[in-house]
Amino acid sequence: MRKVEFSKFHGFGNDYIVIERDKIAANVALDRLARKICDRHAGVGSDGIAIIEPVDAGEADFSCEIVNPDGSIAGFSGNGTRCAVAYLYHSNIWNDETLRLRTRSGVKNYRLINREGIGGFWFEAEIGEPKFSSDEVPVLSSSHRESVVNEPIEIDGRVHGFSAVNVGNPVACIFVDTFDFDWRSVGRKIETHQAFPDRVNVVFVRVIDTENIELRIWERGAGETAASGTCSAGAAVLSAFLLKTQRSVNVHSPGGITRVVWRDDGEIVLTGRADFAFRGEWLVRD
């Protein structure tokens, strides 16, 4: 039986367990660890784990692997990586104003813009450019499409129209006037629909005005979450792409408000916070 040291952070209630890679024995399977430690009844409880380790040299300072509660690997997580970066500052491992983080979807750039007390951090993060084509999301279609907009999908006899984008993870957005329906059931079924070969994050979007949108989130591999950086980014980009909002919006989710700017050069910039919750030790049973 071995101990794994961890720290738990959350970004607007979207919580992640952060672990340094060298604290995990080489023979410990990350998928099994994630399923056990993320369990909200028998484990620590979280929306995923963030495994971080330093990069010796090159284009990044650290790398981060995000593992979902079901054991699957995420290409990226806006809140998960923000929690990982906050851990590095909170633990005094990193003190520079900026940090480059390597993820499966590329290198992301973080800038610490404010620190509150001993455990609150605000970051601005450049997370890359959105990808709109059906091949890049990906979405299965009868032919290649440069953008996936208002595509029909039938769930339990009802047809929903979705638009999709890849912002490090695939995101499908359904624009709604109200959340007064069983969106969780719809999200669960769309996540694993055959139209999405890599599964998909499902976001229900209510446009408040040209500078504000509100979300309900069903995340791939995690289920309902209080917030999500990539889902916020995808919803904001698609709202602007469809001319429903400006390119700079406040994204309201049950956990808080994320600022998303889709710059004219194509780069997506997220501004949000990460908060330290607690640290502890997890017993890994052989």
The CA radius of gyration of the chain, in Å to the nearest whole number, is 18
Dist. CA 230–CA 167, nearest whole Å: 6
Structure tokens, 150: 């208002």
Judgement on whether residues 96 and 207 belong to the same structural domain of the protein: no
Give the residue among 201, 131, 197, 210 at the shortest CA–CA distance from 162. 201
pLDDT at 27 over 70: yes
Q: Do 24 and 83 have their domain in common?
A: yes
What residues make up the domain containing 260?
A: 148-266
Same domain (yes/no): 19, 99: yes
Please give the Cα distance from 237 to 81 (Å, whole number): 20
Number of domains in the chain: 2
170-208 pLDDT, tens per residue? 999 999 999 999 999 999 999 999 999 999 999 999 999
- For residues 118 and 210, membership in a common domain is answered with no
Same domain, 90 and 118: yes
Residue range 48-70: mean pLDDT, rounded: 96
Q: Could you tell me if 105 and 64 lie in one domain?
A: yes
Angle in degrees, CA 224, 146, 186, rounded to 5: 25
Residues 147, 131: Cα–Cα separation, whole Å: 9
Q: Please give the model's pTM, rounded to 2 decimal places.
A: 0.95
- Cα gap 217→203, rounded to integer Å: 5
Residue 76 binned pLDDT confidence (cut-offs 50, 70, 90): very high
Residues 56 and 17 in one domain: yes
The CATH number of residue 176's host domain is 3.10.310.10
CA angle 7, 10, 16 (to 5 degrees): 55
Q: Are residues 26 and 112 in the same domain?
A: yes
Is there a domain that residue 93 lies in? yes
